[in-house]
Amino acid sequence: MNAGYGGIKYNMSDDEDKKVIGYRQSVSCINEQKVRKAFLAQDVEEKMKNELIYLMEQKGISYELVTSKRELGKTHGLKVGASIVCLIN
């Protein structure tokens, strides 16, 4: 079952990880140290990518770079691209 609020999408299935999708929501969860792992698309704007990488490294959050926004979105069950997907605690 998926639930969302204000653009935040959480995957609420017991057998799947809870997720936050998108820049603003991800930054918020990263700052609150709620993120276990993040997946970041390589084709996002350089400034945004550098900011996210810096923030995740400062907070000690592991991340993985994915080839494209489209691939990242598709991998996480979206019909659109995603700049970042975070698995939350």
Per the structure, the complete domain to which residue 16 belongs is given by 2-88
The whole-number pLDDT of residue 8 equals: 41
The whole-number pLDDT of residue 50 equals: 97
Q: Is the pLDDT of residue 36 over 60?
A: yes
Long-range (24+ apart) CB contacts under 8 A made by 64-70 are: 64/37, 64/38, 64/39, 64/40, 65/40, 65/41, 66/39, 66/40, 66/41, 66/42, 67/41, 67/42, 67/43, 68/41, 68/42, 68/43, 69/41, 69/43, 69/44
Write the pLDDT tens digit of every residue in 44-86: 999 999 999 999 999 999 999 999 999 999 998 999 999 999 9
Residue 34, domain CATH = 3.30.1330.30
What does pTM read for this prediction? 0.79
Domain count, the chain: 1
Write the pLDDT tens digit of every residue in 7-24: 444 443 433 579 999 999
